[in-house]
Structure 1
């Protein structure tokens, strides 16, 4: 077995482990429509995935007045909850995580979801016990702020050069840069792979199978 290059691996959730990008995009669009804003395109709505919820909604709906933002959040949650059962882990995620855990990596989640939302997702897909730690945007700071990664590194006593961030958006990769960590992008989520080039990820995986192979050889 090769020696580990990274002790701590932090995964984004939506669009990286969990196949939820399309539902999040539709939920944003429906929420903006409900409050009378200009409905964002698929690209505009998916771009904000990974940010904290209210920051994401405000960015996706710049013409919605600030006093309507609370209702925008309410309507987003309504539409998302209506579709929650349609969301599932990408094929291959569970064996990927099992292999990494067997190699004794610290496995963590750094997500723009709320703490409540992440806990519900972890419960729903029976992942409790796989991850050693997690941080959410509502308890720290939204991406690309490095706070989530900095707190996880501090919790597990791991230096930036031994930490890897894996995500499907430029916000994930920029967070890694801001925290002094390496990153891997995945192109099967919210952002196009070309958007990652300027952020110098170690690798861009076009499927979970590609990610699994790369991690087996390089993590």
Structure 2
């Protein structure tokens, strides 16, 4: 069925940007700097998609407020260093350009802060294609539905005409909470079986498959 959706909302990290390993390394290095137990790679991957404060609370429940402040500072430091090697997944630009030519409404809902996303938009060149975005420091963090609800309200789009695309269970649970369809991508932070447990429309394994899915369904 063609033209199912008017609004397509993308997660950023792990969905469009190949940043999962850098986020994991940044979280682990931050823990080392503050003399806290280093989270496992699995635990660090689990919190990707959440706002940073929620992610740190999950990973470091015993951290004092002072330690949390230091963790935030060190995380941004390490991400700025490690992030120099981060890039969009190959083929992402072409996928977004193709959707843009179909005159669809495109948006981003991310656990990043506003300044981080604006910098990412500029450095990637993708910002020009998105009509709106929501960040975790502007509204409720995933999986609360606020980001999606605000975007639908902004464009007067009904839930049945919106689609959330993401690589984590936080993305798909947010879609469920907002009563919109979800599409999982398995090349990011969370494993395929975890995504499938939330019954998305589909799970795709690569950018090539993502593009094909859009060509078939949008």
Shorter-chain TM-score range:
over 0.9
Q: Deviation at 1:197? A: 2.0
TM-score (norm 1): 0.97
- Conserved 8 A contact 2:143-2:174: yes
Structure 1 runs, 4 residues or longer, greater than 4 Å off: none
Residues 166-210 of structure 1: CA deviation (Å, up to 9, x unaligned):
000000000000000000000100000100122110010110100
* Residue number in structure 1 paired with 2:214: 215
* Residue number in structure 2 paired with 1:87: 86
Q: Secondary structure at the match of 1:75?
A: helix
Which runs of 5 or more structure 2 residues have no equivalent in the other structure? none
Q: Secondary structure at the match of 1:19?
A: coil
Choose 164-173 or 61-70, whichever is displaced more: 61-70
Q: After superposition, where does 1:63-142 map in structure 2 within 5 Å?
A: 63-142=62-141
Distance 1:64 1:26 in 2: 19
Q: After superposition, where does 1:33-52 map in structure 2 within 5 Å?
A: 33-52=32-51
Q: Deviation at 1:57? A: 1.5
TM-score (norm 2): 0.97
Aligned residue pairs total 218
- Conserved 8 A contact 1:184-1:201: yes
CA RMSD, aligned part only?
1.0
Q: Deviation at 1:99? A: 1.1
Distance 1:129 1:121 in 2: 12
Q: Deviation at 1:79? A: 0.3
Distance 1:84 1:41 in 2: 20
- Conserved 8 A contact 2:2-2:216: no
Q: Secondary structure at the match of 1:16?
A: coil
* Residue number in structure 2 paired with 1:194: 193
Q: Deviation at 1:150? A: 0.4
* Residue number in structure 2 paired with 1:168: 167
- Conserved 8 A contact 1:38-1:63: no
